[in-house]
Amino acid sequence: MPALDPEVADLLARTPDGLVAAVAQQHDTGEVLMLAWMDDEALRRTLATGEATYWSRSRGEYWVKGATSGHRQAVREVRLDCDGDALLLQVDQTGPACHTGERSCFHRPLGVPGAAG
C-alpha cells in the first residue's frame, strides 16, 4: 500500500504521538460536526477513498466514520490550516455525526456573558 504523498506529509505539524486534529464540517451549510484525529495513514486512506477515516486514540485503531452506524462522511474536500497542525474535512454527512445521536458533537452551549444569541 503506498504511503501518504511525501509533499503532503512534509506539510503536517503532528503532535508528539504523530497526530493531526481533523475537524469535519458539512460542506454546504458550514455546520461544524465533529473533531477527530488523523495520522499519515488515516489521511492517506481518506484522500484515496473519499471516506473519512480517523485514528481512534482510545481503541488504537483506524475507523471509517459510519462503517458500523451508517452515518458516513463522504469527503468533498480536505484543507490544511496555515500552521499545518489541523485539517478541515468538508463532508456530506449522512445522519448524525455525534456518537450520542446528535447531528453535531458541538451541541452543548456553555453560555458566554455578554454574547449575543
101 located within any domain: no
Give domain status of residue 39, yes or no. yes
Buried b (16+ CB within 10 A) or exposed e, 64-83: bbbeeeebbbebeebebeee
Judge whether 25 and 92 are in contact, CB under 8 Å: no
pLDDT digits (tens, 9 = 90+) for 95-114: 999 999 999 999 999 988 88
- pLDDT tens across 14-26, in order? 999 999 999 999 9
Segment 44-59 mean pLDDT: 96
Q: Domain of 30?
A: 6-93
CATH number for the domain harbouring residue 13? 3.10.20.810
Domain presence at residue 111 = no
Q: How many domains does the chain have?
A: 1
Q: What is the pLDDT of residue 113?
A: 85
User: Is 106 a member of any domain?
Assistant: no
